[in-house]
Amino acid sequence: MAKITTATFNGKTGKYNFDVFPVETSFNAVGAVYIFTHRKVNPDGKGTHTLLYIGETESLKERIPNHEKWPCVKREDVNCICIHRDDNSTSRHAKEADLIAGNNTPCND
C-alpha cells in the first residue's frame, strides 16, 4: 500500500520523521522504529495522531503481522503504522527509548 503522508513525533529529547501507512500495509524486511497510531483528519485537512504503541525491529516483515500488541491497539482503534527506517540496532533502541519516554502510549507496558 502507498504511504499516506509523513509525520514528526517528539521524544523526550529528539524529533523523528516517520512515513505513515494504512494499518493493512505489508512491509519488507527492513529495520525501523514503528508506531501504531489512530489518525484523525481535522476539518483543515491535517491529520493528528494518537500514539498507541512504540516499538523497534530489525524486520518489519517479521514483526508486524503477528505482533503481540494487536489486541491492545485494535481496542484503541489503530488505523496507521508510522515507520522511521533505521538499520542500526543501537540507534533504533535509543530512538525507541526516547519516544517512549516522551509519550504516554496505552499499549506500551
Compute CA distances 92 → 5, 31, 84, whole Å.
21, 8, 9
pLDDT by 10s per residue, the chain, length 109: 689 999 999 999 999 999 999 999 999 999 999 999 999 998 887 889 999 999 999 999 999 999 999 999 999 999 999 999 999 999 999 999 999 999 999 999 8
CB 50 within 8 A of CB 76: yes
pLDDT of residue 29: 97
Domain ranges of the chain: 5-102
pLDDT at res. 46: 83
Question: How many whole angstroms separate alpha carbon 12 and alpha carbon 18?
Answer: 16
User: Which residue in the block uniquely carries the three cell numbers 499499549?
Assistant: 107
How high is the pLDDT of residue 21? 97
pLDDT at 31: 98
Helix spans in the chain (H): 60-63, 70-75, 89-102
Q: Could you tell me which of 85, 41, 37 has the C-alpha nearest to residue 61?
A: 85
Q: Is the pTM of this model over 0.85?
A: yes
Residue 1, pLDDT score: 66
CA gap 25, 21 in Å, rounded: 7
